[in-house]
A and B are shown apart, each in its own frame.
Chain A
Amino acid sequence: MNAVTDRPHPPPAGSGAAAPRRGSQPPGFARTVAALLRKELLVELRTLESVPGMSLFAVTVFVIFHFALNRTGVSGDEAAGILWVTLLLAAMLGVNRLFVADAEEGGFDGFLLAPCDRSALLVAKALALFSYLVVLELVAVPAFALLLLEPSLGPALPDLPGVLLLGDLGIALIGTLVAALAVRTRARDLLGPLLALPLLVPIVIGGARASAPLLVLTHQTAPALRWPLALALYDLIFGLIAYAVFDFLLED
């Protein structure tokens, strides 16, 4: 059976397949995503398992770099490299936790029993991870500027958030895909990073290259669009791949 036949198409006319009684209507895609995302954020707000850990990890790494480098600050390629590698490793903490509550508390079965498009779970989880990354950066980037960055962060601000958001989108899509694959294995804590990190290397390269011109002492002309476009293209490709294969990851 393929993923297409497994999606909750409306029953063919005359198939005799009745809808649930009591007049309930299967929810549309957007409503399903909203329900899943709401639940996801509510669970994170109650448990605080992902975002605080990710943020604390990133700040701790910046503190370690601050003392280990023993310099007044970093800029350019070095600054961009430290920022993106730290954000990536912090993101892995969130990726590893993304499906744990579902796997341990039967959330997968509850969702699979509902008459919903399964891709909604991909979108909701990716949106949740994306929002965790944005919050992480709201904490981590000022800490990075304070502890490590030599030039002022101000001049980079008009463009840096855009680059970070493009990177976040890619991390969220790839992270969700890999987390869904790894969570049903015994070695999920190991398998998640092992699968995700190689796939995320292009995000780090693109993000660092796009950020480096923004984190220099003397700003040049407008930054080149080549690397942000490469990031966007990578996001698009992995978005399509994730959409195509996600249903299979939920299959028995």
Chain B
Amino acid sequence: MALELESLTRRYGEREALGGVSLSLGEGQTLVVLGPNGAGKTTLLRVLATLLRPHAGTVRVLGSSLPDESWAVRGRIGLLGHEPLLYRELSARENLRYHARLHGVDFARVDELLGAVKMAARADEQVRMLSRGMVQRVAIARAVLHDPGLLLLDEPRANLDPAGAALVEPLIGPSCGRTRVVCSHDPQADLAGADLVLGLRAGRPALLAGPADVDAQAIEELYG
């Protein structure tokens, strides 16, 4: 199993941001996480990325128990969050080379990915000069730079036009072959590639089903 969660709980002070989340996800499968703003989707991703500690329950990511074995999964996770994790004053190429150095990845991979997201021509411009869509494409290149086994994607198509979304599909879409956890506000688009759907509401699981069992009414109840 790529992911095994049992009664995962995470609090911010007294407030429980995430509670009672239990699920299993096989290697190469996709978990789509739905829920209104503040439901706990980003918190779930940050716990899985080892950036937040779980406060209760058990979490196993790629066979390693968190937080005790966090060191074993760092470098095998690709995170694409709301922040691109890019320095605005550095160019796209400089940012990717910086991350390549931290992950021990060859620079040829940087050039390969800049080409894949069609940013080779503007790779030497500072990130602050790029449009949001371009920054998102570079951020996607950063997330997959080290060929991670688990991709954690928070609204991955944010800021991307249809052409940009199609461009990054082979890197982060269902066909990429990696285990994926995708937080989405676009169920229509993301349920197609899902193997499992988790609906969160106020930090608690309100829905856990296969995509075939998630109909319009279930989604409406989740967001209602």
Contact B79 A6 (CB under 8 A): no
Interface size on B, residues (CB 8 A): 45
Docked complex Cα distance between A9 and B63 (Å): 17
Docked complex Cα distance between A46 and B49 (Å): 31
B147 touches which one: A8, A9, A24 (CB < 8 A)? A24
Contact A252 B52 (CB under 8 A): yes
Given A17-B63, A21-B147, A114-B103: A7 and B71 within 8 A (CB)? yes
- Min CB–CB distance B16 → chain A (angstroms): 16
Contact B85 A31 (CB under 8 A): no
Contact A17 B99 (CB under 8 A): no
Contact B102 A114 (CB under 8 A): yes
A236 on interface, CB distance cutoff 8 Å: no
Contact A31 B83 (CB under 8 A): no
B76 on interface, CB distance cutoff 8 Å: yes
Contact A46 B71 (CB under 8 A): no
A113 on interface, CB distance cutoff 8 Å: yes
Contact digits for B13-34, partner A, Cβ 8 Å, 1 yes 0 no: 0000000000000000000000
Chain A contact-residue range equals 35 or more
Given A18-B76, A24-B146, A106-B83: A112 and B51 within 8 A (CB)? yes
Residues from chain A with a CB closer than 8 A to the CB of B88 are: 105
Residues from chain A with a CB closer than 8 A to the CB of B84 are: 106
Q: 29 A–B contact pairs at CB < 8 A?
A: A11-B72, A17-B72, A17-B73, A18-B62, A22-B105, A22-B109, A24-B104, A24-B146, A27-B104, A32-B101, A34-B101, A35-B101, A38-B101, A39-B98, A42-B90, A42-B94, A43-B90, A47-B89, A101-B89, A105-B88, A109-B83, A110-B102, A110-B142, A112-B51, A113-B49, A113-B77, A113-B85, A114-B75, A115-B75
B→A interface (CB under 8 Å): 49-53, 62-64, 67-77, 79, 81, 83-90, 94, 98-99, 101-106, 109, 126, 142, 146-149
